[in-house]
Amino acid sequence: MTVSVIIPCLNEEKYVGKLLKDLTSQISKADEVYVVDCHSSDKTVAVAHKFVNRLPLTILQSPYLNAAAARNTGADAAQTDYLLFLDADMRIGPKFIDQLLRKAISKRADFVSPKLRSEGHHPIDHVIISSVSSWNHFYHMLIRRHAGGVGGAMLIRKDTHNTIGGYNPMKRQFDDIDYMMKLWKHKVSFAYTRDAVAITSNRRFAKQGRFVSIVQGLSEHHFLVRHVVRPIMKKVGVKPQWHDLS
């Protein structure tokens, strides 16, 4: 099975090089790697260029300034069986791709979600990320019996991605939840592996505070968030992280 790694980037010069270095050390090498830049104003593209001779790397430009459009751009260019979407500030171990592909093959899964772990040492960071990982595994996969994961770390068949129509390029927030809902409608086969661990950055928690990050991260797909939490946020001056494109 072949796999393309797709990394959306917006001003990620401090992070993308670390992830690309992780990809050079994989036991199962990526067949294609796409860094899709969202018109960064820093040295993101220059950092990525340093890995052109170390990885089968192509640098592309996203048509819009959002991860959803960037992921679609990489997926459209990919010529492999599977797509591995990773956020630029993720870190992965040397067996990560191998563990995901093995699970996909053994379970005949169209979609595979890895375990998530926080890079931070603060206990609240670990609780938040562990809760997200457990919610995807136990609630979505074991109880509701459908795919669960985050856009920043997931493996999916390219054919499946195409079948559901990819990401909504107009969404700048909760695009991965919208993507999951498309997967639910198509009832794709799925699997979870705790062996493959994606380490998430805690930079948002550290920069703007954990409470604000948690509130901003509550999805508007839920009735109470849309009609209760968001109005309260507006009153106290907590803005959404992004606004969708029109």
CA 49 to mean position of chain CA atoms: 22
- How high is the pLDDT of residue 143? 92
Nearest-angstrom CA–CA distance, 152 and 113: 10
By CB atoms closer than 10 A (0-12, 13-18, 19+), residue 133 is buried
pTM: 0.86
- How high is the pLDDT of residue 35? 98
Nearest-10 crossing angle of helices 175-186, 67-77: 50
Please, what are the domains in the chain?
Answer: 3-205 (3.90.550.10)
- How high is the pLDDT of residue 233? 58
User: What CA–CA distances, in Å, run from 1 to 190, 205, 217?
Assistant: 16, 37, 34
Averaged over successive runs of 10 residues, the pLDDT of the chain (246 residues) comes to 96 96 97 97 97 98 92 98 97 98 97 90 73 82 90 96 94 84 92 94 60 52 52 57 52
Q: Is 81:1 a contact under the CB 8 Å cutoff?
A: yes
